[in-house]
Amino acid sequence: MTRTPPIDDLLRVLAPQVLGVVARRFGDFDAAEDAVQEALLSAALHWPAEGTPDNPRGWLIQTASRKLLDQMRSDQSRRRREVAAALREPPEQAEVHSHDDTLTVLFTCCHPSLTEASAVALTLRAVGGLTTAEIARAFLVPEATMAQRISRAKQRIKSSAEPFRVPERTAWAHRLRSVLHVLYLIFNEGYARSSGTDVHRTELSGEAIRLTRALHRMVSDDSEVAGLLALMLLTDARRPARTDVNGQLVPLPEQDRTRWDRALIAEGTAVLNAAVVKGTVGEYQVQAAIAALHDRARRVEDTDWPQILALYGMLDEMTGNPVVSLNRAIAAAMVHGPAEGLRLVDELDGRLPETHRIYAVRAHLLEMAGDIPSAVTQYRQAARRATSAPEQRYLTTRAARLNESAARLNESAARLNESAVRPEVT
């Protein structure tokens, strides 16, 4: 035995590979996933004290297979032929260890019958190697609730009776789109938590980047996979500046750009440049191009807003997504003035759910237009609807500061007016 830290990182990398082998061998993704989780837990408990095996992947495969066989033997009514077939398998040393099933596991976890929430949870557990408790904490739900969600997802996959393999090319495009969307959701939840007390959940955003890197290596000719990876890298590069020393949210225009990760920006730009010459430009490439324009500006005044507006127009046509339209309104305000931005926001009424975002954007544009009382009202409305504590604090603080500033201006104006009408003393 030799020690090879860090064990947690090794287990995350090996989890989908081991699951792929065990699922193919036994033909039961549900049971295989449970057995692999038990094997990962066993490794996490024993390897730190006993040392990492010379062949950690083989150790995990063998342990998971043994646990699955024990489970199958304990239920005499279950499939005896599968047990017999598994027992006839060659020993683990004969396994072809160069085969990596990560892509197959990713496609399985993003089965079209699953909801987004279920697909995200199952991907984090089966491919990311996170425990059910870790995933539950990430999404602020009880562990039992998350366990039920994952269990239902596996049962849906099982009931589909779909073979454990990467889909045929006829189904590839749709399923790959689902895979990319799930990875995108995981990254967004890590980069800008939708609820809770912290701005970031770095283990989620980091895991999304790791999985997208792996996917990019496997399907390096797909420009949208590259576009998503570039988007994540270019966005995550700004993370160090998104909070101040007290952990408070700092909006993009106010960030200290010297704190941005220039190495990630260079890498993301290179990935994006290589992708855009490969053919059709997709939505992730366009989003990455917008992120690159922000990252390229050394000062907020240097931002190429006309180009960003043009790209948001293209993205709006591609997706019809009202959130994209909301971002386009901000870009339009930066190019044509706040009145145009407000006009576009008003057109979104009824298309966006009653979330804090539309109120926050309208408040920002009203502030740009100089309508401070209305801006304060909208900031307060946004704060009431925000589910993230850092966003609530930022929006509430913004409203209070504007209100205080407006009060000081009114007081000064009143004093000037009083001086103007007071009769001279001779």
Burial of 278 (0-12, 13-18, 19+ CB in 10 A): middle
Percentage of the chain with pLDDT > 70? 84
Predicted confidence band at 333 (pLDDT cuts at 50, 70, 90)?
very high
Nearest to 342 by CA among 383, 302, 378: 378
Q: Supply the DSSP string of 176-228, one letter for each residue.
A: HHHHHHHHHHHHHHHHS-SSBS-S--HHHHHHHHHHHHHHHHHTTT-HHHHHH
Q: Give dist(CA 105, CA 332) in Å, integer.
A: 42
Residue 426's pLDDT is what? 40
Tokens for 189? 């939840």
19/424: higher pLDDT: 19
Nearest to 158 by CA among 222, 218, 114: 114
Residue 334's pLDDT is what? 97
Q: Give dist(CA 165, CA 58) in Å, integer.
A: 21
pLDDT in tens, 282-327: 999 999 999 999 999 999 999 999 999 999 999 999 998 899 999 9
CA neighbours closer than 13 Å in the CB half-sphere of residue 84 = 4
Over residues 389-400, the mean pLDDT reads 92
Q: Give dist(CA 233, CA 225) in Å, integer.
A: 13
Predicted confidence band at 364 (pLDDT cuts at 50, 70, 90)?
very high
Residue 91's pLDDT is what? 46
- Cβ-proximal residues to 84 (8 Å cutoff; 6+ apart), any chain: none
Q: Give dist(CA 92, CA 84) in Å, integer.
A: 16
Over residues 25-29, the mean pLDDT reads 82
Indicate if the pLDDT at residue 390 is higher than 80. Answer: yes
Strand partners, 196: 388
Residue 304's pLDDT is what? 97
Pair 201, 193: CB distance under 8 Å: yes
Q: What angle in degrees, to the nearest 10, is found between the helix axes of 102-109 and 116-126?
A: 150
Residue with tokens 């000081």: 408
Indicate if the pLDDT at residue 422 is higher than 70. Answer: no
pLDDT in tens, 76-108: 554 555 555 555 454 444 344 445 677 788 888
Tokens for 211? 């999985």
Pair 291, 231: CB distance under 8 Å: yes
326 by DSSP, 3-state: which? helix
Angle at 353 between CA 145 and CA 287, to 5 degrees: 90
pLDDT in tens, 197-229: 777 878 888 888 988 998 898 888 899 999 999
Q: Give dist(CA 341, CA 332) in Å, integer.
A: 5
Pair 318, 283: CB distance under 8 Å: yes
Residue 134 DSSP label: H
